[in-house]
Amino acid sequence: MEQVIPKSLAHAEQSDPQNDVRDLGRWARIATMSCTSVVAIGTSLALPWVLWFAAGVAFATVIFRNHPAEVLYNRVIRRYTHTVALPPTARERKVALAVAGGLLIGAGFAFLFDATQLGYAMGVGVKLFLRLLRG
């Protein structure tokens, strides 16, 4: 007599956790890469509103379960790439993003009040800080 396995369990048996993690590798950095790009553009062009937008995204990540770019990946991109969902943002990363958000607000105000050297220093500092998070 042949055993019938439900579809959900059959997929789980065929799924290899090593392959799932390997497939996820390039997508796991989507949030950090997108924010690093926005911070680089906002800093290089000395645009306070771009830096404040990035700060808002950082604070949204602190408040909610995932980064907005990760939500986009989990709800849309993942359907087409057939990869696993990204896990919730870790507490340590949320603390780091809160610090980065505060620095971005400060950099935006520095550019607004013509303290461009301070703005560039803070913007580059945040970019390097986010680069370290990506690692």
Examine residue 4 and state whether it is found in any structural domain, yes or no.
no
Q: What is the pLDDT of residues 77-108, one digit of tens each?
A: 888 888 888 889 889 889 889 999 999 999 99
Domain span at 60: 18-134
Q: Whole-number mean pLDDT of the chain?
A: 82
Q: Greater confidence, 45 or 3?
A: 45
- Rounded mean pLDDT, 23-39: 79
Examine residue 40 and state whether it is found in any structural domain, yes or no.
yes
- Rounded mean pLDDT, 18-29: 63
Predicted local distance difference test score (pLDDT) of residue 22: 59
Is the pLDDT reported for residue 126 higher than 90? Answer: no
Examine residue 120 and state whether it is found in any structural domain, yes or no.
yes
3-state secondary structure 72-132: HHHHHHHHHHCCCCCCCCCHHHHHHHHHHHHHHHHHHHHHHCCCHHHHHHHHHHHHHHHHH
Examine residue 81 and state whether it is found in any structural domain, yes or no.
yes
Examine residue 11 and state whether it is found in any structural domain, yes or no.
no
Predicted local distance difference test score (pLDDT) of residue 86: 87
Secondary structure of residue 2 in the 3-state scheme: coil
Residue 101 to residue 57: CA distance in whole angstroms: 8
Examine residue 66 and state whether it is found in any structural domain, yes or no.
yes
Predicted local distance difference test score (pLDDT) of residue 52: 97
- Number of domains the chain contains: 1
Total-model pTM: 0.76
Examine residue 26 and state whether it is found in any structural domain, yes or no.
yes
Is the pLDDT reported for residue 29 higher than 90? Answer: no
Examine residue 7 and state whether it is found in any structural domain, yes or no.
no
